[in-house]
Amino acid sequence: MPNNTKVALVTGAAKRIGAEVARHLHAANFNLVIHYHHSETDARSLASELNAVRANSAIAIGADLNNHAQLQALAKEASAQWDCLTLLVNNASSFYPTPFDKASLEDWDNLIGSNLKAPYFLAQALAPQLTAAAGCIINIADIYAEKPLRNHTIYSIAKAGNLMLTKSLAQELAPRVRVNGIAPGAILWPDDSHKKPEDKLSDEDKEKMLCKIPLQQRGQAQDIAKAILFLVNDAPYVTGQILAVDGGRSLTI
């Protein structure tokens, strides 16, 4: 592969925001490693879509990021595919309520694992390749990293750790690797398809949330993708920063 090949690994890239990020990066001439856990069909469909645009430019790799052996295998295969890695986007994330009196050890392991532990160890595994490429890491944080979301204590703790992970890695991996984060606000409503009726967001809940956003509207997945491209391509002197893409929501929490 030529030295100017750009390769991005996007975790949780099979659908929703991750898939949109993958499409935007591909359009910006990145080759894509599309990571998935349960959504194999969606991931392989996305890889086929991208390969139809540019041959041999995308692959899909499955891994449970809470399984350290599978995480290590993902890192190895991702960096070996085109013999380099330029960008790691830690997008994969579990998100669900954990009322304080009902939260379990399994909830803790799942939410801390996907939002904090996995991004840390993926960065560790891929640091040599990213350093060689003078690459970037983008972590998907959350506006609730600084002000907690009620009934989501473990998730909020995990994202607070993700915020500090971004700052710490920016210091540890400088000067060759830049590390930044994106903190989305209301971009896509949570996937409620597998939730109990009482756990789903009602139309009234959604309306209340939108009323708290200064721009008075929900964002789009492409807003996150464009912000990532800005940090990767147009901000060479920016590292250790968290960019809120939230319509101003964090001003009113």
Angle 30-63-168 from CA coordinates, rounded to 5° = 70
Strands (E), the chain: 6-10, 30-36, 58-62, 87-90, 136-140, 178-184, 242-245
Q: Is 155 a catalytic residue?
A: yes
Take residue 166 and report the two structure tokens written for it.
């971004």
**Residue 1, C-beta contacts closer than 8 angstroms, at least 6 positions apart:** 82, 83, 84
Chain Cα centroid distance, residue 196:
26
Which is the catalytic residue, given 96, 144, 155, 237? Answer: 155
Residues with a known catalytic role: 155
